[in-house]
Amino acid sequence: MSFVAVIVAAGSSLRAGAGLPKPWRQVGGKTVARWSLEAMLAAGADHVVVVVSDNHQETAIKVLGDLPRWSVVVGGASRPESVVRGLEALATSPETPVLIHDAARPFLTTRHIHSLLEALVDQDGAILALPVTDTLKRGDQTIAANVERAGLWRAQTPQAFRLGEIKAAYAAWPTDAELTDDAQVAAAQGASIALVAGDPRLMKLTYPEDFSMAEALAETRWRSRTGMGVDAHRWGPGDGVWLCGVLIPHDQTLIGHSDADAGLHALTDAILGAIGDGDIGEHFPPSDPQWKGAASDRFLRHAAERVRLRGGRIVNVDVTLICEQPRIRPHRDAMRQRLAELLDLPLDGVSVKATTTEGMGYTGRQEGLLAQAVATVELPA
């Protein structure tokens, strides 16, 4: 589903202690604001506006500049003003879903975002919220009263609305009225707002000690998964062979329904294996004529997309090609580069190796080529 987002990173963060404001401090080896922007982009945001305080525009560009599809806007003196400036910078149609999110909640996932967008389909708004589980007291030094906790929720962000409606709601909001979230503004215009299951890990970094808890959370946030893939194709008459997305001149070719790129097929299966998502034959049945002669990069791209849809990321891949001929070494760098490009990975996350079986077995007799691949993937815990 198409959506846009505003990440509010303009607060002065007085409660979090002296020094750099919260959004620009580090958690889990990453700037706090970057976690949220990456999550929005990974979930498919068309555009994200990051609202910063006047003196942190350069910081934002330095820290986030390598990421696509975002822009920076300077916020106002208060959170509502900052949100309004962020909303104004979004030039999409009034029906477009917009997620408004506090940068101080770094551990956002694709799952959170998609559940909000789903709830927004038949509501005016949707927020992440957690039911209150602690017993509540009212008082000052001593207890003055018990507070009934049934039906009470802790509101989190993101909060989702349609762009035109939330803009209009802010335009109608009295500027001097107290405000701590966007749902209040929408509700004041009669909006019906869904409560969507929040997540304790989406904690707001408020006090200095919250950062040490966030450090611990950052470490447990991903679980690592490994998959392997194997593929073999038979040699036949031809004048070139596709291996790992690169065409190598050779006096034979590999025979197959698609382009028979055994390297890409093994790697596609390794990635699908890592996320427990079947195999290449299930996603692209050889019986389907549309895959006849197909370039295998689309199979690999599809597997990478399946990882992305789960909110995951590929960490590294390793392919081994087993054959006597052709010589792989001269083409290895081109193959690594092609795979890095197809999977959007840094070059050191991609390995291509080759070996022979010293004349033994079907690869040794040059009846066929065997490819093996391993992929490591991280999925949100």
CB of 273 to Mg ion, least distance (A): 15
CB of 372 to Mg ion, least distance (A): 12
Is the Cβ of residue 34 or residue 265 nearer to Mg ion in the bound state?
A: 265
Is the Cβ of residue 36 or residue 296 nearer to Mg ion in the bound state?
A: 296
CB of 102 to Mg ion, least distance (A): 48
- Tokens matching residue 19: 């020094």
182 binds Mg ion (CB under 5 A): no
Is the Cβ of residue 90 or residue 317 nearer to Mg ion in the bound state?
A: 317
**Using CB atoms within 10 A of its CB, is residue 359 exposed (0-12), middle (13-18) or buried (19+)?**
exposed
Binding-site size, Mg ion (CB under 5 A): 2
Residue 52 neighbours by CB under 8 Å, 6+ apart: 9, 10, 23, 59, 60, 72, 73, 74, 75
Could you tell me which stretch among 35-43, 111-119, 177-185, 224-232 binds Mg ion (CB under 5 A)? Answer: 224-232
CB of 39 to Mg ion, least distance (A): 35
CB of 269 to Mg ion, least distance (A): 9
Is the Cβ of residue 47 or residue 306 nearer to Mg ion in the bound state?
A: 306
Is the Cβ of residue 21 or residue 245 nearer to Mg ion in the bound state?
A: 245
Is the Cβ of residue 51 or residue 328 nearer to Mg ion in the bound state?
A: 328
- Please tell me the distance from the alpha carbon of residue 109 to that of residue 29, in angstroms, as a whole number: 17
- The phi, psi pair for 248, rounded to 5°, reads -110, 130
Other CB atoms closer than 10 Å to residue 170's CB: what's the count? 21
Other CB atoms closer than 10 Å to residue 73's CB: what's the count? 19
CB of 262 to Mg ion, least distance (A): 6
Is the Cβ of residue 264 or residue 307 nearer to Mg ion in the bound state?
A: 264
- Find how far residue 303's CA is from the centre of its chain: 15
Note whether 113 and 158 are within 8 A (CB).
yes
Is the Cβ of residue 124 or residue 269 nearer to Mg ion in the bound state?
A: 269
Residue nearest to Mg ion (CB): 265
Q: How far apart are the first and last CA of the chain?
A: 23
Q: Kindly identify the residues of this chain, within the stretch 255-294, that bind Mg ion according to CB under 5 A.
A: 265
Residue 248 neighbours by CB under 8 Å, 6+ apart: 240, 241, 242, 326, 331
Is the Cβ of residue 265 or residue 313 nearer to Mg ion in the bound state?
A: 265
Note whether 51 and 75 are within 8 A (CB).
yes
CB of 315 to Mg ion, least distance (A): 24
CB of 369 to Mg ion, least distance (A): 10
CB of 293 to Mg ion, least distance (A): 13
Query: Please, which residues bridge with residue 70 across strands?
Result: 48
- Eight-class DSSP state of 336: H
Is the Cβ of residue 265 or residue 310 nearer to Mg ion in the bound state?
A: 265
Residue 25 neighbours by CB under 8 Å, 6+ apart: 16, 19, 31, 32, 211
- Please tell me the distance from the alpha carbon of residue 281 to that of residue 264, in angstroms, as a whole number: 13
At 158 the three-state DSSP class reads strand
Could you tell me which stretch among 94-102, 171-179, 200-208, 231-239 binds Mg ion (CB under 5 A)? Answer: 231-239
CB of 260 to Mg ion, least distance (A): 6
- The phi, psi pair for 365, rounded to 5°, reads -80, 0
In the set 124, 231, 259, 269, which binds Mg ion (CB under 5 A)?
231
Angle at 196 between CA 192 and CA 197, to 5 degrees: 155
Question: Interface with Mg ion by CB under 5 A: which residues?
Answer: 231, 265
